[in-house]
Structure formats: C-alpha cells, structure tokens
Amino acid sequence: MFQPLDLSRAPLVTNGKGKGPTQVITELHNGLVDVIGGATSWFSERLDGIVRTEAEFFLGEPGFIPNDNVPFEALLRTPSVRKLLAGLGQKVPAGIDHGTIPHANFLRFELGYDRFFFIRSLNPANSFTWVTAYVGQWNMTETFTGQDFRFNGQTKPTATGTRVGANTAGLTLANISQLHTVATDFVDLYPYESFVQTHLQTDYMHGRLTPSITAIMGLNGTFVVPVGLSYRFSDSLLFDLRYTYLGGAFMFPSGFFRDRSQLAARVTVQLN
C-alpha cells in the first residue's frame, strides 16, 4: 500500500562528518477494489433471535509485503544515491529504485446474532438489545502462493518504541550499501484472522438515557472495550460520555492502538 518516492539527506549516526539517505518519503495509494458477495438475515425461532450472515470476496486488494512495499536496498539505486556511494567506493548495481504494491484476494465474512430480552431486576420498563457477531478474513493469496503478507506496515514493539524495519544498527557511510529491509521487524498478518464483537444496551427514563457496552476481542489476543452513556435532554440537545479501553497483543485488528485508551465527551446541538 505504500510506495517509496524519494529520500531526504540527513546526518547518519556516524562520526558526524557524513551525510546520506535516512528518511523514506512515501505515497499512499488507495484505489478501487472489486468486491463480490452477498448477505442474508432471518428470524430463528429455535434461537429466539435474528441470525445475520454475510460473505464477500475482495479481489486484488493492495497488501503489504515489506520487501515489496519498502525495499530499503532498492532506494540505494536512485541515481543520485548511487553516485554518492560510488564516490565512497561502494558499488550499487542499477535496478528498480522504488517499492511496488502487492495484491491479495481476501474472503471476509460475518456471522451475527441479535435479540431483545428483558431483565426486570435491572430494567423493569425496557428490554435489552444484544448484537453480536463473529468476523473473519482469509488471505487466499498467501495460502495458495506462500507470500508472506504483514499487517499494513506496522512494526513490532521494542522497549523504547517500535522496530525500524531495516538493518540500521551498525550502519555507517562505510557500509551503507548493505542496507536492506528486515521483514521480521513487521507485525505478521496471518492467513486467517478473526475477532468477536458484541454490544449490549438498554434505555431508561423513557428512552432519554442509554447506557451501553461493547467488546471487540481478537482471537490473537487484542481487545477493545468501549463503554458509553448517552442522554437526550431534548430532540435538539444530546450528551454523550464514552470511555474506550484498548489492550492486548500488538496485532490485528486493534493492537497498534493498545496504549491509546480514550475518554471522550460530546455535546450535540441540532439547529434544524
């Protein structure tokens, strides 16, 4: 999804006398993707609720393979950088000097179950609404071709941040031609990924006050738990208070934001 375009020149971590390529400038391509699929839902008397199903094929969706999208070794082949390195006695062969975008076919699906029920001890006047679903995706291209797709350019965590994505440790102007992408620095995207999401809410005060809680749990160890409280003072004035707790593994679908729990308050005024 990312295609390197150019390099900046900034001091490398050497003796401070030399300058060289240290920053990748990228462009995000987000084109159209063909999708084929279908969905259906029905009421099940046996389950006493609504069953929802959906499946879609995403054909040729842009993906991320580190050595294709961000090939640091290819960036050394730009004419200006090759000339610089030649002056330092390092020969870099000519060739493609930018990244390419791999594509993959995904099968994504959802199996959901929704129902209304009463818990009179908690809410004697209104029912509870429960919406839940199991969501999954299968990277068919990786399964059948063996290509190693990674999670959207997300690098793995370290004690002080995240990994670089290249073998920058120990590089100087004397050996900068050895620069290359390290694919294992990036978080893996498994051929099959899935998560469970569930939402529960009810109404009090004749529909004016609505508490709710949602849980999104990735089966690889990620989780998100938003808790909300909405109050409708009038049809034109609404108050919302929400807290979202994120945590778990540093992986699909929400692991990158695991240290970014949020507290939000909003006032909505409708002028019409």
Q: How far apart are alpha carbons 36 and 57 in whole angstroms?
A: 5
131: nearest Cα among 108, 112, 109: 112
Q: What is the pLDDT of residue 8?
A: 45
pLDDT-based confidence at 10, cuts 50/70/90? very low
* pLDDT one-digit tens code per residue, 81-124: 888 888 878 888 788 888 889 999 999 999 999 999 999 999 99
DSSP assigned state of 74: H
Average pLDDT value over all residues in the chain: 87
Is 51:44 a contact under the CB 8 Å cutoff? yes
Domains of the chain: 2-36+54-108+130-198 (no CATH), 203-272 (3.30.1300)
> Distance between CA atoms of 185 and 151, rounded to whole angstroms?
11
